[in-house]
Amino acid sequence: MIEAVHIFKSFNGNDVLKDVSIQFKQGKTNLIIGQSGSGKTVLMKCIVGLFEVDKGKIFFNERNFSEMNFEQRKDIRQEMGMLFQGGALFDSMNVIENVMFPLSMFTNQTKDEIRERAQFCLKRVNLENTDQLFPSELSGGMKKRVAIARAISVNPRYLFCDEPNSGLDPITSNVIDNLIREITQEYSITTVINTHDMNSVMEIGDNIAFINKGELWWEGNKDNILNSDNTELNKFVYATELTRALKKTR
């Protein structure tokens, strides 16, 4: 479980996160939703330690991450996998080298064992015969799948996904969403996903947190999000003609 307690973060005097407290459960897909600029990416970057919080604490299974230095954080970081918006694959490496990279840095396995594990992970995300391709030769969906394979290669306990569906068509988005959910359940990972895609919310939203103007406005799941009486959440959920039309038919 990951727990963020009373998190505050500001940039140049501009408060981006204001007293956010939230829990992310193990074996569940925990979604952070909100408009662009609401603070959800900053919250995720604070949790993984890419930004330091101004105030507040972050616990990874009761280990106080926010009070650790870079060296002390290494152990927890090696339990993390992260899927970035653009994939963040290393341009100079091909697909198999990208997936092998964290293994070669953190394990003492032989090269053959590392390659075997990397190939297993690529197979798990339905990517085969792409080993020798470079990131520039991959489609958006393939990049995300390679990034997922790289993230799960070290058997992470925590998986973070920053807008995994951005730039993808609805069908590929669905494939990625289902893949993330399957991996979360299969390996009992604590998965945190930043998204503003309502399809993802309805597909994999085990736990949902709605962030608005840097504050936590609502918590729930995919079963009760459509019936909430929270005005700001409803504005977000029913922002499009399509969702408004669907609401009328309910």
- Choose which of 23, 35, 85, 119 interacts with another protein (CB under 8 A): 85
# binding residues, another protein (CB under 8 A) = 24
State in angstroms the smallest separation of the CB of 101 from another protein. 8
- Choose which of 8, 59, 84, 217 interacts with another protein (CB under 8 A): 84
| Piece in contact with another protein (CB under 8 A), picked from 13-21, 76-84, 182-190, 207-215 | 76-84
Q: Does 42 bind another protein (CB under 8 A)?
A: no
- Choose which of 10, 35, 61, 104 interacts with another protein (CB under 8 A): 104
Strands, E, within 118-169: which ranges? Answer: 158-162
State in angstroms the smallest separation of the CB of 82 from another protein. 5
State in angstroms the smallest separation of the CB of 160 from another protein. 8
Record the tokens describing residue 237, joined without a space. 């959920």
**Contacts for 170-173: CB closer than 8 Å, 24+ residues apart:** 170/199, 172/140, 172/141, 173/197, 173/199, 173/200
- Choose which of 25, 55, 90, 137 interacts with another protein (CB under 8 A): 90
Q: Does 88 bind another protein (CB under 8 A)?
A: yes
Backbone angles phi, psi at 14, to 5 degrees: -95, 115
Q: Does 247 bind another protein (CB under 8 A)?
A: no
- Choose which of 43, 80, 122, 216 interacts with another protein (CB under 8 A): 80
Report the side by side order of strands in the sheet with 158-162.
80-83, 158-162, 190-195, 29-33, 207-212, 215-220
Q: Does 105 bind another protein (CB under 8 A)?
A: yes
- Cross-strand bridge partners of residue 63: 60
Record the tokens describing residue 138, joined without a space. 């991959």
Q: How far separated are the first and last CA of the chain, in Å rounded?
A: 35
Place of tokens 């193990």: 26
Q: Does 77 bind another protein (CB under 8 A)?
A: yes
| Piece in contact with another protein (CB under 8 A), picked from 26-34, 42-50, 58-66, 224-232 | 42-50
User: CA–CA distance from 140 to each of 85, 109, 158, 167, 173 (Å)?
Assistant: 10, 31, 23, 7, 10
Give yes or no for a contact between 184 and 160, defined as CB atoms under 8 angstroms apart: no
Q: Does 11 bind another protein (CB under 8 A)?
A: no
Q: Which residues are at the interface with another protein (CB under 8 A)?
A: 48-50, 70, 73-75, 77-78, 80-82, 84-86, 88-91, 102, 104-106, 160
